[in-house]
Amino acid sequence: MRALIIDDSKAMRSILGRMLRGLDFEVLEAANGREALERLQALGKVDLALVDWNMPEMNGFDFVRAVRAEHNYDGVLLMMVTTETEMENVVRALAAGANEYVMKPFTQEVILEKLRIFGMAGS
């Protein structure tokens, strides 16, 4: 499986990348939504994208909307992983097409549970 981690924090990309590589994901990274869209166009489909909300150039919410507007990416599962804790933003992200929403700080178990929901991790 292939995952794209989109976060302007290199440390956060490293933490999430380590988790996913431990589950045998091929991990790609991008520092913002615009870079992530370019990676998708260049490298093709991914199975999963973990998306931060607050990033320069293109935020995660706009990335989710852009991906959902492009039918080539219909099968990509989108998980927001963000410090945005306002319920209004959770609702907006899910309505825009995010499949799951995780608030930072999180534990590895929370990410694993979401991956189990997606059928991407064992019990």
Helices vs strands, H then E, count in the chain: 5, 5
pLDDT of the residue at 68: 97
pLDDT of the residue at 123: 63
pLDDT of the residue at 122: 74
pTM of this prediction? 0.95
Q: Which CATH number fits domain 2-117: 3.20.20.70, 3.40.50.12280, 3.40.50.2300, 3.40.50.720?
A: 3.40.50.2300
pLDDT in tens, the chain (123 residues): 999 999 999 999 999 999 999 999 999 999 999 999 999 999 888 999 999 999 999 999 999 999 999 999 999 999 999 999 999 999 999 999 999 999 999 999 999 999 999 999 876
Task: Annotate 6-24 with DSSP letters as a single string.
Answer: E-S-HHHHHHHHHHHHTTT
Can you read off the two tokens belonging to residue 53?
């909300």
Distance separating alpha carbons of residues 114 and 34, to the nearest angstrom: 25
pLDDT of the residue at 121: 86
